[in-house]
């Protein structure tokens, strides 16, 4: 349901807020029929919005032209919004003016804010064509009114899809950088290519426009994939190059994400359960959680975990789902095969959206999801380059990196197919 709504153009933030408001507020849900009220809250219904931004006074230099963008420069904020603006510290400075963008029609306030800001971006970019040293800027918070609601709200800028990734702490990042610099063995041409990929990645991170982010990430993916990769067209070659890297780590990443969320749920509660696993002190948390979730002999411990999770229903279901997958190696292979299809489909969607932006200037409502996925694919690929070109593997070209990744995945698949059931020894292959 969430994917369908996002693909239609409803923002993730709106779905999150309405879900939190309905299911996790103090109001008690007494009847299952009340779910219809929730569906009404997130239904794809168009509304009209009026939005107010604080914009730099540079906009006054083109005040006679802003009407073409459906923008109105106003001296003062309407009185009914003054108290709200003051409470959110939206006080006008001498260098600013209020701008009103009226009659935006879309599904929710966050989508409306994004459409309004896109209008400001277009106007600012056109201004920059003739004034390279100055740029029209505006504050991140905006006051938004909705046609059918009496409550006016201040909506801040949404988190960039480029920032929605698994990040590491600064000290961990420094260790990884030191390892990269000390162990990288790529030859000059391949190292130059990798540098260009990292530059494109940084450009995407620095950009505020979703379309620019997607284009830069896709160019980075095209750059890092060697032309020697087998396949037909461009997208097929990229699929053939990336899939061994993405599929080899898929199950392990599912496990790591689960561990991360279990630790957020309750580190001490989880530790109490893990202490019951054989040779607890000799094993790392990755192995402990894997054995807890996967091995039949720890079923009573899993039941204890399910019980302790209480109202964390989604987290309990994720534990159960992963446990069902680990019941049989064939289930793991089927899960990886399904992921392979999804990766292939998503790479094609990313490429088609890139072409749509470049050739027609249009975009798609779910571009943020494509950016998140493409960014994740690129990060995993860069990590693989560091892995295979450093340490004992010592690949010195990108061609060798991708060939090693392919052989590594083929070996992993063959080994998995030979296993009839998981035990304490063979299940460790999923972590390596």
Residues 407 and 353 in one domain: yes
Pick from 416, 386, 412: which is nearest to 401 by CA?
386
- Tell me how many degrees the CA angle 342-5-123 measures, rounded to the nearest 5: 100
Which domain-ending residue is among 128, 156, 184? 156
pTM: 0.88
Residues 360 and 381 in one domain: yes
Q: Quick: pLDDT tens for 335-394.
A: 999 999 999 999 999 999 999 999 998 888 889 999 999 999 999 999 999 889 887 778
Which domain-ending residue is among 119, 141, 156? 156
- The confidence score (pLDDT) of residue 276 equals 94
- The confidence score (pLDDT) of residue 168 equals 65
CB of 318 closer than 8 Å to CB of 258: yes
Looking at per-residue confidence, does 225 or 168 come out higher? Answer: 225
Residues 127 and 193 in one domain: no
Beta bridge partners of 74: 98
Q: Please tell me the least confidently modeled range out of 64-68, 138-142, 416-420.
A: 64-68
Strand pairing class (142-146; 96-106): unpaired
pLDDT-based confidence at 254, cuts 50/70/90? very high
Structure tokens at 429: 């292959």
Domain range for 1 is 1-44
Q: How many domains is the chain partitioned into structurally? A: 3
Q: Give the position of tokens 């990336």.
A: 242
Helix (H, G, I), strand (E, B), or coil: what is residue 429? Answer: helix
Residues 150 and 191 in one domain: no
Which domain-ending residue is among 156, 187, 210? 156
Residues 219 and 315 in one domain: yes
Does residue 126 register a pLDDT over 80?
yes
Q: Quick: pLDDT tens for 78-96.
A: 888 888 998 888 989 999 9
Residues 359 and 345 in one domain: yes
Residues 146 and 249 in one domain: no
Does residue 288 register a pLDDT over 80?
yes
Q: Quick: pLDDT tens for 24-74.
A: 888 888 888 989 999 999 999 999 999 999 999 998 888 888 888 889 999
Does residue 179 register a pLDDT over 80?
no
């Amino acid at each position: 349901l969430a994917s369908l709504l996002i693909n239609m153009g409803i923002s993730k933030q709106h779905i999150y807020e309405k879900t939190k408001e309905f299911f996790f507020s103090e109001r008690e849900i007494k009847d299952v029929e009340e779910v219809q009220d929730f569906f009404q809250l997130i239904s794809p219904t168009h509304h009209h919005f009026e939005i107010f931004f604080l914009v730099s006074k540079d906009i006054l230099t083109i005040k006679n032209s802003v009407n073409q963008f459906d923008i109105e420069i106003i001296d003062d904020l309407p009185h009914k919004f003054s108290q709200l603006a003051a409470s959110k510290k939206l006080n006008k400075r001498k260098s600013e003016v209020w701008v009103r963008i009226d009659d935006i029609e879309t599904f929710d306030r966050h989508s409306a804010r994004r459409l309004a800001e896109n209008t400001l971006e277009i106007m600012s970019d056109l201004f920059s064509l003739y004034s390279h040293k100055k740029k029209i800027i505006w504050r991140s918070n905006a006051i938004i009114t909705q046609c059918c609601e009496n409550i006016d709200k201040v909506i801040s800028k949404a988190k960039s899809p480029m920032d929605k990734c698994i990040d590491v702490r600064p000290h961990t990042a420094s260790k990884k950088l030191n390892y990269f610099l000390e162990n990288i063995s790529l030859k000059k041409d391949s190292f130059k290519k990798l540098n260009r990929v990292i530059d494109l990645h940084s450009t995407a991170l620095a950009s505020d426009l979703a379309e620019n982010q997607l284009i830069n990430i896709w160019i980075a993916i095209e750059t890092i994939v060697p032309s020697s990769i087998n396949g037909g067209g461009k997208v097929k070659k990229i699929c053939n190059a990336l899939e061994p890297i993405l599929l080899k780590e898929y199950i392990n990443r599912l496990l790591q994400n689960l561990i991360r969320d279990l630790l957020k749920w309750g580190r001490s509660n989880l530790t109490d359960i893990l202490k019951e696993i054989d040779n607890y002190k000799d094993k790392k948390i990755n192995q402990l959680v894997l054995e807890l979730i996967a091995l039949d002999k720890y079923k009573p411990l899993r039941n204890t975990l399910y019980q302790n999770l209480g109202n964390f229903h989604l987290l309990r279901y994720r534990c159960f789902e992963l446990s069902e997958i680990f019941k049989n190696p064939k289930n793991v292979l089927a899960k990886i095969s399904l992921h392979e299809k999804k990766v292939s489909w998503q790479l094609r969607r990313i490429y088609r959206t890139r072409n749509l932006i470049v050739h027609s200037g249009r975009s798609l409502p779910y571009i943020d999801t494509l950016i998140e996925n493409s960014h994740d694919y690129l990060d995993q690929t860069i990590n693989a380059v560091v892995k295979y070109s450093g340490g004992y593997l010592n690949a010195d070209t990108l061609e060798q990196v991708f060939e090693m990744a392919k052989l590594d995945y083929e070996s992993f698949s063959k080994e998995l197919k030979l296993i009839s059931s998981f035990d304490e020894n063979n299940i460790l292959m999923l972590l390596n």
